[in-house]
Amino acid sequence: MTSQNPVFIPGPTNIPESIRKACDMPTLDHRSPAFARIFSPAVEGVRKILRMGEGEVFLFPATGTGGWEAAMANTLSPGDTVLAARFGMFSHRWIDLCTRHGLNVQVIETPWGQGAPLEAIEAALSADTGRTIKAVLATHNETATGVRSDIAGIRRAMDAGGHPAMLFVDGVSSIGSMPFDMAGWGVDIAVTGSQKGFMLPAGLAILGVSPKALTAMETATLPRTFFDFADMRRSYAAGGFPYTPPVGLLNGLALSTQMLLDEGLENVFARHHRIAEGIRRAVAAWGMRPYAASPDLYSDTVTAVAVPAGCNGTDLVQLAASKYDVAFGVGLGEVAGKVFRIGHLGMLTDVMALAGLATAEMCMADLGWPVTLGSGVAAAQDYYRNAGQEAARAAA
């Protein structure tokens, strides 16, 4: 596959050339003051993007899955109960991870295409009169179905009954691309990765950890070594890492956070929403719909397109890769074959999005799907032209 074409998967995302160059650097002594000059801006940049209050940022050489494991291992003990809704592949994987660690997972089964069920979560917490639930797990953006959940609503549900559980949020495909307010939403641990909104290669698990979660660490007994928050805190105090860090990735993170902050987070979020809305209008022009059950659930980073009856979304993804050297996302789990996914996050523009839509249309035509070439592209063009004019007027 040529590297000239952008990717339209929900991560890893396209890497800006300046960030790629920042990651490509000579060997540096990670115990020297030179490393601290890279590390400190990276940590502070993440803190601003998460909109943290007090607490710590931890950066592990891992992916988002490693971040999930770190969250569990540092705050919980074998047999502890956690509450989670299963409504997609990634909420399922978090549940699976907890089960493997000997935790008691109270699962709220939810149809795929829906978001986190606020009323069911509130009811489960109200029924927990013994306060056995130690943490509520929430996937902010379910990448498999293109569904965004209401994290602030989950916090309200928790607060309604005064439940003391911690709130852990998987923001892997949302943080850095969609509004996220760790302090305002009362999130105790936020987990993300370098390869999505931060526009970096995979390799960093990024966590924001609240004071409450840090306190829970003192009594948690799940085993941990590589992911030990306490080791990280001690090393951070000395300006370093407890083991050899991925210096190039951290240098890239310092630059990527600065690029996001220079663009302005509200502008970053508006850009993602604009690109996503153009894609959704293209999907409607094709006579299709997002898999998300209702517009209030639409993700601004990935759209899972429900394909027509008799069509297979995986066929489109495979053809796009083999014939046009363009990557889309396949359907996962329960929606395998039922959807194909268009990732629209990170380093992406309106013009790049149009290229992806044009490619998807060519694949549909090649496969004999009911589509009029140019229909979706025209719908997105019309929206981008008008949305761009509105943005220019607002900036003037």
For the segment 211-232, what is each residue's pLDDT rounded down to a tens digit?
999 999 999 999 999 999 999 9
Q: What is the helix, strand, coil percentage profile of the chain, to 5?
A: 45, 15, 40
What 8-state DSSP symbol labels residue 308? P
Domain extents in the chain: 17-262, 265-395
Give the DSSP letter string of 236-279: HHTTS-SS---HHHHHHHHHHHHHHHHH-HHHHHHHHHHHHHHH
Rounded to whole angstroms, how far apart are CA atoms 191 and 46?
11
Strand order in the sheet with 189-193: 56-61, 204-209, 189-193, 166-170, 133-139, 81-86, 104-109
Instruction: Give the pLDDT band of residue 210 (cuts 50, 70, 90).
Output: very high
- How many CB atoms are located within 10 Å of the residue 67 CB? 26
Q: What pLDDT digit, counting tens, does each position of 72-81 carry?
A: 999 999 999 9
Q: Average pLDDT, stretch 165-169?
A: 98
**pLDDT at residue number 365:** 98
Domain 265-395 class?
A: alpha beta
The HSE-up count of residue 388 (CA atoms within 13 Å, CB side) is: 11
What 8-state DSSP symbol labels residue 212? H
Of all residues in the chain, the percent with pLDDT exceeding 70 is 97
Q: What pLDDT digit, counting tens, does each position of 349-394 carry?
A: 999 999 999 999 999 999 999 999 999 999 999 999 998 656 555 5
Rounded to whole angstroms, how far apart are CA atoms 28 and 259?
23
**pLDDT at residue number 34:** 86
**pLDDT at residue number 173:** 96
> Is the per-residue pLDDT at 237 higher than 90?
no
Q: Average pLDDT, stretch 163-179?
A: 97
> Is the per-residue pLDDT at 264 higher than 60?
yes
Rounded to whole angstroms, how far apart are CA atoms 52 and 348?
26
**pLDDT at residue number 388:** 65
Rounded to whole angstroms, how far apart are CA atoms 271 and 101?
39
Q: What pLDDT digit, counting tens, does each position of 88-105 carry?
A: 998 999 999 999 999 999
Q: Average pLDDT, stretch 169-179?
A: 97
Instruction: Give the pLDDT band of residue 51 (cuts 50, 70, 90).
Output: very high
User: Which stretches of the chain are DSSP H helices?
Assistant: 17-23, 33-50, 64-75, 89-100, 118-127, 151-160, 211-216, 229-237, 247-263, 265-285, 313-324, 350-367, 375-395
**Tokens standing for 361?**
């249309």
Cα–Cα distances (Å) from 147 to 65, 139, 240, 290, in that order, read 19, 9, 38, 9
Instruction: Give the pLDDT band of residue 153 (cuts 50, 70, 90).
Output: very high
**pLDDT at residue number 160:** 92
Q: Are 74 and 227 in contact (CB under 8 A)?
A: yes
Burial 352-375 (b: 16+ CB within 10 A, else e): bbbbbbbbbbbbbeeeebebeeeb
**pLDDT at residue number 396:** 46
**pLDDT at residue number 171:** 97
Of all residues in the chain, the percent with pLDDT exceeding 90 is 91
Distance of CA 182 to the CA centre of its chain: 14
> Is the per-residue pLDDT at 268 higher than 70?
yes
Which residues fall within 8 angstroms of residue 367, CB to CB, at 6 or more apart? 311, 315, 316, 319
Average pLDDT, the chain: 95
> Is the per-residue pLDDT at 182 higher than 70?
yes
**pLDDT at residue number 239:** 78
Report residue 286: phi and psi, to 5°: -75, -10
CATH number of 17-262: 3.40.640.10
Rounded to whole angstroms, how far apart are CA atoms 112 and 263?
34
Q: Are 202 and 209 in contact (CB under 8 A)?
A: no
Task: Classify 367 as helix, strand or coil.
Answer: helix
Q: What pLDDT digit, counting tens, does each position of 322-358 carry?
A: 999 999 999 999 999 999 999 999 999 999 999 999 9
Rounded to a whole number, what is the distance in angstroms from the first to the last CA of the chain? 41
